[in-house]
Amino acid sequence: MIEQLNEFQISNDALNDEIELRRRINEEGYLFFRKLQNPDRLLKLRQDMLNVINNGGWLDSGSNLIDGIADISQQCTEGDIEYPSVYHEVYKLESFHRAGHWQEVLNIIEKVINGPVLPHPQKIARLWFPQFTEHTTPAHQDFVHFQGSYDTYTCWTPVGDCPRDLGGLAILPGTHKAEIVYDHHFSLGAGGLNVDEEKAKGQWLTTDYEIGDCLIFHSLTLHKALPNITENKLRISLDNRYQSIENPIAEHQLNPHMASTYPFTWKEVYANWKEKDLQYYWLDKVQKIIPTDKSYIDRGFTEALLLAKKGDSRAVLKLKRITNLFPNSDEAKLAKEVLLD
Annotate 22-35 with b (16+ C-beta within 10 A) or e (fewer): bebbeebbbbbbee
Whether the pLDDT of residue 111 is over 70: the answer is: yes
Residue numbers of the domain that contains 236: 6-290
pLDDT of 158-167, one tens digit each? 999 999 999 9
Last residue of a domain, one of 258, 273, 290: 290
| Total residue length of the chain | 341
- Give, as one character, the DSSP assignment of residue 135: G
Name the packing angle between helices 84-91 and 39-55 (round to 10°): 140
Mean pLDDT for the chain overall: 96
213 and 335 in a single domain? The answer is no
Which residues lie closer than 8 Å to 204 by C-beta, 6 or more apart?
Answer: 3, 5, 6, 170, 171, 172, 224
Torsional sign, CA 322, 83, 195, 120: positive
Question: What integer is the mean pLDDT of 291-303?
Answer: 96
54 and 189 in a single domain? The answer is yes
Whether the pLDDT of residue 341 is over 90: the answer is: no
148 and 10 in a single domain? The answer is yes
225 and 310 in a single domain? The answer is no
Which residues lie closer than 8 Å to 1 by C-beta, 6 or more apart?
Answer: none
- Give, as one character, the DSSP assignment of residue 162: B
Q: What is the pTM of this model?
A: 0.96
Whether the pLDDT of residue 238 is over 90: the answer is: yes
pLDDT of 244-294, one tens digit each? 999 999 999 999 999 999 999 999 999 999 999 999 999 999 999 999 999
Left (φ > 0), alpha (ψ -120 to 50) or beta: where does 125 sit? beta
* CA–CA separation, 339 and 341 (whole Å): 5
Contact by Cβ (8 Å): 29, 176: yes
Last residue of a domain, one of 255, 275, 290: 290
Domains held by the chain: number: 2
pLDDT of 37-72, one tens digit each? 999 999 999 999 999 999 999 999 999 999 999 999
Whether the pLDDT of residue 153 is over 90: the answer is: yes
Residue 197: pLDDT band (50, 70, 90) is: confident
Instruction: State the pLDDT at residue 166.
Output: 98
* CA–CA separation, 126 and 90 (whole Å): 10
276 and 302 in a single domain? The answer is no
Instruction: Determine, yes or no, domain membership for 1.
Output: no
CATH number for 13:
2.60.120.620
